[in-house]
Amino acid sequence: MATPLNGTVVITGASGSLGSKIALKIARRHPLCHLLLTARDVWSKKVEVLSEDIRSLGPRSFEIAKLDLASFRSVRKFAKSTVDRVRIGDIPSIQLLVNCAAIASFKADAFTEDGFDLVYQTNCLAPFLLTIDLLEAFRLSDGGNGTRVINIGCSLMSHGKLDYFDNHTSRKIDSPLGVDEGLIRFGSSKLLLNTLMYALRRSLAMTSKIDLSIFTLDPTRASYSSRHATKTPAKPRMKTGLLLAIPYMTQMFLTNMINSASRSADAVVKVAFDPLKHDRIGEEKYFVLEDEYYVRDMVKLTNDHEFMEIFLRQSLMDVGVADEEIVSPV
């Protein structure tokens, strides 16, 4: 009789350099996981190569599903089908979600069909909505080693501005943005993703809706060596962001962002499967590779509970989720 699978692992951006490495390493080291890998284009060469690499490891349970984070419709469709499949026992309950996909753009893009900045929606709002819409598929888990959501962060959030996406200036579609502005835009999307996902985690913990560990892991790679930038800008200048703690910036300088995708993927897999101490509210974890920190010491903004609460409610509205599903009544 075949050994039963022990959980589903969802990885977004599996066609990317980091996402594909994470998928391959999990397939190698945790053969009893079902891998539900997502890509915008399931027929791309990258996906084909990844599928072959996984098959070459021997019998593995994996599939590639279409998911476009620039569309809430696509996110909802993927999440609904996943929850339905978990319910009927077609795939095991979710034990891990890695929000890895991201985009950087150095030109003025058209707003998404949902009316948001493309980078903001892809990097922040869509992974947030995906996590919420998959909650039921996590909830059906028997707990075990603990269910987790890992958000892939980036030190470029030190360039981020909280209100970057509030100011919609009208620009000619496709006109160039310039490196500095592109980095601020990308960094802002990552800063807001971090903050929002920790706010979600706190809210879920406080309302005891689900025991789900949600945290950020910074893979500290050489930024913009990847394909997610539409142009390769010069090496980013590091600014001391007011919202980030100094030790974090020092760490970033020291590690000098030189890790390979393989090294970063090793850290993700370790943190994803190693036993994790329970993170209480105010003591949430933040990882730089596999090194563990408290998010309160790394991203100062997360100490501002009032902002976190307001931002969570606003974002729930933006993605069309009723806040009573997530937040406790005040």
Q: Which of 7, 9, 19, 92 binds ligand NAP (CB under 6 A)?
A: 19
Q: Which of 68, 109, 117, 133 binds ligand NAP (CB under 6 A)?
A: 68
Q: Which of 7, 10, 11, 15 binds ligand NAP (CB under 6 A)?
A: 15
Decide whether 83 or 183 has the Cβ nearer to ligand NAP: 183
Size of the site for ligand NAP (CB under 6 A): 30
Q: Is 92 in the site for ligand NAP (CB under 6 A)?
A: no
Query: How far is it, in rounded angstroms, from Cα 47 to Cα 63?
Result: 10
Q: How far is the CB of 202 from ligand NAP (least distance, A)?
A: 22
Q: Is 102 in the site for ligand NAP (CB under 6 A)?
A: yes
Q: How far is the CB of 194 from ligand NAP (least distance, A)?
A: 11
Helix (H, G, I), strand (E, B) or coil at 278: coil
Query: How far is it, in rounded angstroms, from Cα 309 to Cα 320?
Result: 17
Which residue is it, tokens 């706010």? Answer: 199
Helix (H, G, I), strand (E, B) or coil at 129: helix
Decide whether 109 or 136 has the Cβ nearer to ligand NAP: 109
Q: How far is the CB of 330 from ligand NAP (least distance, A)?
A: 33
DSSP codes, 243-276: TB-HHHHHHHHHHTT-B-HHHHHHHHHHHHHS--
Q: Is 17 in the site for ligand NAP (CB under 6 A)?
A: yes
Q: Is 225 in the site for ligand NAP (CB under 6 A)?
A: yes
Q: Is 246 in the site for ligand NAP (CB under 6 A)?
A: no
DSSP codes, 182-223: HHHHHHHHHHHHHHHHHHHHHHHHHTTS--EEEEEEE--B-T
Q: Which of 9, 10, 11, 18 binds ligand NAP (CB under 6 A)?
A: 18
Query: How far is it, in rounded angstroms, from Cα 209 to Cα 230?
Result: 39
Q: How far is the CB of 223 from ligand NAP (least distance, A)?
A: 4
89 backbone φψ class: left, alpha, beta (φ>0; ψ -120 to 50):
left
Instruction: State the amino acid at position 233 in one-letter form.
Output: P
Q: Which of 40, 148, 159, 285 binds ligand NAP (CB under 6 A)?
A: 40
115 backbone φψ class: left, alpha, beta (φ>0; ψ -120 to 50):
left
Q: Which of 16, 127, 187, 241 binds ligand NAP (CB under 6 A)?
A: 16
Q: Where are the alpha helices (DSSP H) in the chain?
A: 17-29, 45-55, 72-87, 118-120, 126-133, 135-139, 179-206, 246-255, 261-273, 295-298, 305-318
Q: Which of 82, 93, 122, 141 binds ligand NAP (CB under 6 A)?
A: 122
CA distances from 258 to 141, 223, 261, 262 (A): 37, 9, 10, 12
Q: Which of 27, 86, 96, 152 binds ligand NAP (CB under 6 A)?
A: 152
Decide whether 219 or 241 has the Cβ nearer to ligand NAP: 219
Q: Is 154 in the site for ligand NAP (CB under 6 A)?
A: yes
CA distances from 40 to 12, 46, 174, 211 (A): 9, 11, 21, 30
Stretch that binds ligand NAP, among 83-91, 98-106, 245-253, 301-309 (CB under 6 A): 98-106
Q: How far is the CB of 289 from ligand NAP (least distance, A)?
A: 11
Closest residue to ligand NAP: CB criterion: 16
Which residue is it, tokens 């009032």? Answer: 306
Q: Which of 227, 231, 277, 305 binds ligand NAP (CB under 6 A)?
A: 227
Q: Give the residues lining the site for ligand NAP (CB under 6 A).
A: 12-13, 15-19, 39-41, 46, 67-70, 100-103, 122, 152, 154, 219, 221-223, 225-228
